[in-house]
Structure 1
């Protein structure tokens, strides 16, 4: 999650909010790949969660990384809650339960993305291992109860923690007990954004299925392959999920703005302090609805940018597109997730093929599929075929797109190898979640503890 912005330019009109999104338009040669991945820190001794404070806590871990990297600290109420590379090329941030996130730099190739992930994990191990800390690559916290899970001292999370139980049953689980891998991708025009948004919304349930990696809750199987996917079905449906209006043939920046304006806010930042704004939609805020209790607060572009970052649809539109459907996972998945989407969306032939494949897929069909995937994974059925069969076709398109890109490393290999781990899922017919469940019922002897060895960074 990127750090909150404080851009103080006042908003003069809704047209400015639309223009803010349109500023993301970039020529094809400037398209980049921004990968984010989260992981659960834990103490090797006892597989216990890591609190914020103490000599072996999250704060000490951040301070160690700051010393090693030379990055600037992100401070909230005099506490370090993240780091940012001085020129803005990447950041480390904390999710509410201490999930440690790298928001990667905007890079040109998947080879660079993989090297970035390798370097980050190596640096993190160097600081964490002397503290007895390792990191778990799963989509959902497999052992700890919500009460056992630490709470990070970030002001925005305090507001969200109070608000979430009012709008859904699983919002706190989303905040404190899930991890993801995401990729942020560019577009060159409103038309290009529409095509990519519609293709990726339709294929997001497939990504959830392929990356399903959260079958345990509080030490036991939870009956799902993607608990994280199920959590998002009842977190806050005003601001998350599948957006029907995005399926329109005329969908554009204005439509997303019009929707976002009527979603309740979380906060505004003034003088470094967070004010709870959950009583107001952004439209109400913009039209003076909060003036009675905040007479001197003028809505700003920074408020709008922060509001956009608190919306959680399956594909999020900012000045780029965020693919949000995948569970967190082991190292190979960190490279596979961006490879999957870059192959589909960054090559013209592949995007044409993905669009042709999904053109007549309807909102209602995708909604039903999205509801089925957390329990059924790649065995969910869509139009008479399992998602495993659909995945073969989609992965072939993605592979073609990566081949066409022709981005090779120093050894002459292109980017297609990063899809191999997904090809293996399809060939086996079992996801990472099902592999874990099989181990739990056999060689793990009904214990969750081995997951902390086999799925740790």
Structure 2
């Protein structure tokens, strides 16, 4: 999630201003970039406990160490570092201390994967001497919700209070989940619509391919991606399959109307977060917000509000692919490879749209409901999601081949699909692999996951 906003902007008095803001994301294909974000769980190496904020092995010490040794600039809230920034990148904290890199907008997957490698190397150099490890999974495999320390960020206190009013798993989403996502561009409103439809339809396929959260509190939970299931009982006002995206006439205006109907969480003013949970951004635009009577929102407030909707694909001035569990290094490179291959080549994009052509709203709902539990084995239209995954990965490979972005040793970007190609060839997800180890070599000891899979 975001660090505190840095500016305000002009007051918003008309819905058209919000649409214009979204339209500013349009850029020619030559200017398209790849922005990767990934989260991981920090833990103390001796007892595997989640990291507190304060203390010699806490998040604050880790942030200050990275700032001191690698030149990151701290972002403060209440005088405490809660984020870092450098060269277009940000390191931020999720509510339970999940450590996130929001990468810079980069031209190629080679650069993206190098960025991931550099980040993990820096983290390891600071964390190792402190006795801290990092684990990439979609859901915390060991600890209860009440054993996870909260991070001292004002927005999280507001969200944490509001979440239980809307669903039973919202606090688990905040405290015990990790994801990897990629942010991608579009060249026009029509291009945005096509990419939104293709990626939203196929997001359950990505969920199945990257499924990596089969444990809760030390035991198998019956899911391939429990992280994905959690979003189905977080908040119906800001989650879901967005059927209107597939309807005629969808575009920036329709998405703005959707976001305007999402209840607010907060307003950031003068270094603090003001609780506006459940209130209306439309009322805010009319100067009728109870907590700030007579005051009008700015574009900065709109940017904040955009981050409080949680569909599987989210539109800002780019599209965010949000359906994947966190995972190991090769998964962090494979997720952007999948979506760049599918969406940044015209022939591949059309093939992705054709793959989902004719699916009904109920089809989308069925995939969203069933894939978290069954993953690649989910039955669908006479086959399984594995069949769809094989086709999607093949389409992505062809798209990356046509992109023909070559690295220093003559390899193109298809190298980053190897993990997914292994998964679709075997039919075994990362969750399957861990479940097999749990019932076999680990002899039911979940602690082994930290030794075998830590970064």
TM-score class normalised by the smaller sequence: over 0.9
* Equivalent of residue 383 in structure 1, options 376, 381, 384: 381
CA distance in 1 between partners of 2:278 and 2:229 (Å): 27
Match status 1:164 vs 2:163: yes
Shift of 1:7: 2.0
1:223 is matched with 222
CA distance in 1 between partners of 2:425 and 2:89 (Å): 35
Kept after mapping to 2: 8 A contact 1:233/1:241: yes
SS in 2 for 1:97: coil
1:416 is matched with 414
Shift of 1:296: 5.1
Match status 1:23 vs 2:24: yes
Q: 1:90-101 to 2 correspondence within 5 Å?
A: 90-101=89-100
Q: 1:45-444 to 2 correspondence within 5 Å?
A: 45-85=46-86, 87=87, 89-290=88-289, 292-295=290-293, 297-444=295-442
1:3 is matched with 3
Runs of 4+ in 1 over 6 A off after TM superposition: none
Kept after mapping to 1: 8 A contact 2:287/2:295: no
- Deviations 1:391-439 (Å, cap 9, x if unpaired)? 1111111000000000010000000011110011111111010111111
Shift of 1:289: 2.5
CA distance in 2 between partners of 1:124 and 1:293 (Å): 40
Kept after mapping to 1: 8 A contact 2:83/2:90: yes
SS in 1 for 2:324: coil
In structure 2, runs of 5+ residues without a counterpart are none
The TM-score, its normalising length taken from structure 1, stands at 0.98
2:37 is matched with 36
SS in 1 for 2:323: coil
The TM-score, its normalising length taken from structure 2, stands at 0.98
Kept after mapping to 1: 8 A contact 2:401/2:413: yes
- Name the Cα RMSD after superposition: 1.0
Shift of 1:279: 3.2
- Deviations 1:59-118 (Å, cap 9, x if unpaired)? 000001111222221111111100011x5x110000000000000000000000110000
CA distance in 2 between partners of 1:390 and 1:61 (Å): 41
Judge which range, 309-318 or 293-302, deviates more.
Answer: 293-302
Judge which range, 443-452 or 6-15, deviates more.
Answer: 6-15
* Equivalent of residue 451 in structure 1, options 449, 452, 455: 449
Kept after mapping to 1: 8 A contact 2:306/2:316: yes
SS in 2 for 1:39: strand
- Deviations 1:142-172 (Å, cap 9, x if unpaired)? 0010110011000000000000000111000
CA distance in 2 between partners of 1:352 and 1:262 (Å): 31
